[in-house]
Amino acid sequence: MEKVTKILAIFFVVGVIIIVALMVSTIKPKETHAASTITFWKYQCIDTMKISRDDARKWKDKVDLQQNIDWEMQTIKGLGANCVAIDTPYDAEFMPYLQKWVTSARYHNLHIWFRGNFAGWEQWFNYPKITSTEMYLNKLKTFIISNSQLFEDGDIFTGAPEAENGGPFDQVEKNEYPDFRAFLIDQHTIEQQSFKKINKNVEINWQSMNGGLAKRMLDQHTIDTIGHTVTIDHYIKDSKDMGIYIRYFATKFKSKVIIGEFGAPIPEINGSMTEDEQAAFVNKLMQELVANRDNVRGINYWDLYDGSTALMNPDQTPRKVAAIIKRYYSPAVVEGQITNQLQAPLENVTIKSNDGSALAVTDRNGHFSFPTAADAITIIVSNGENINTLTIKNIDPSQKITRNIVLMPQNIRLLEKIQIFFYDHFKR
């Protein structure tokens, strides 16, 4: 009798353990929601140089100036950008014009990348040439401190984009590399001190330059000193070259990369392109940027309006390439929860696309989310032992798609079989 009692006690304990395990494994996780906007890059900019800089004198007296500025900001926002590059010079003559652009950008809730310069650096608008870096740095300090109202936290400021094209440099020869590096560091220091003085948290490490020069000239000390970031204005004939450059800086210098300018076609590089050819080429460029997005903090398409790379036609209708930019700047979001056959959430499950690209990893509640610019995608879900595959078709930009996935084990162990038995008979 005593032996039977012990056996019953053992079965009782085992039963309690199974029931507790079942209860723990089937606890419903707390509901969470994906962020309303998930993007590939922190900063997704579109440039306005053709109007905000090149036509600064011609446009400033037009009666429909504000209407045109507002149209550019509204269009940029509608394409999914969260940032606008404004290239108006920093000289006093252009301040009323610059303020109009800034005011409209704020109204449309866009971060601003200030990509102007003092007109004398490259002798824009026939300004006398700035030949001294000391003169330039003094003007830069004064401009920032005297115009604190222009800036907001989260903006980006570059004092001299593509500085190699002006000042005392006017193309940087190899023997000038040390002086140019020193100038980049001094500029970064002045900007850092000036924005600290006006108490504005503005990104200042986007020292943009030609990609080829950056690769030849930059060294580890300079990159580390100016904020561990390399900013390249990079136009290319082969889209794969973009990925090669990004990986070069990421691997050799452990640096993040900003794509300060990109687009197509540049006639001397790409020749002429039809709308279809432009859209196809830019789509390949965007695929390279997405594939290397872990090393890219921001990108800036050049340019919205006017010129060979424009997203919009002269009559303000969108070119086909505009839809490509929108698909990547305003991607669809796939979200959901991964559970086992008992509806218990599974943590650290990887979600990859069918080409092997990593998309997401589930959190402690089994939730995942990731952006996609594809119109159809096949995802592979795996925890190392078990695999599930899911195909999603007819995906539109900005769409939110929810897919909850049950990851079934290939080999069910005894305890799991007992849990499933209890689940089927008592939980449903």
The CA-atom distances, in angstroms, between 404 and each of 29, 339, 366, 390, 407 are 13, 8, 10, 10, 10
Q: Which two tokens stand for residue 303?
A: 């340019």
Walk along the chain (428 residues) and give the pLDDT tens digit of each residue: 555 455 444 444 445 444 434 333 333 333 333 334 789 999 999 999 999 999 999 988 889 999 999 999 999 999 999 999 999 999 999 999 999 999 999 999 999 999 999 999 999 999 999 999 999 999 999 999 999 999 999 999 999 999 999 999 988 999 999 999 999 999 999 999 999 999 999 999 999 999 999 999 999 999 999 999 999 999 999 999 999 999 999 999 999 999 999 999 999 999 999 999 999 999 999 999 999 999 999 999 999 999 999 999 999 999 999 999 999 999 999 999 999 888 899 999 999 988 778 889 999 999 999 999 999 999 999 888 888 899 999 999 899 999 999 987 755 554 555 554 555 555 55
Quote the CA–CA distance of 87 and 84 in Å, as a whole number.
Answer: 10
Quote the CA–CA distance of 135 and 91 in Å, as a whole number.
Answer: 14
Quote the CA–CA distance of 159 and 153 in Å, as a whole number.
Answer: 17
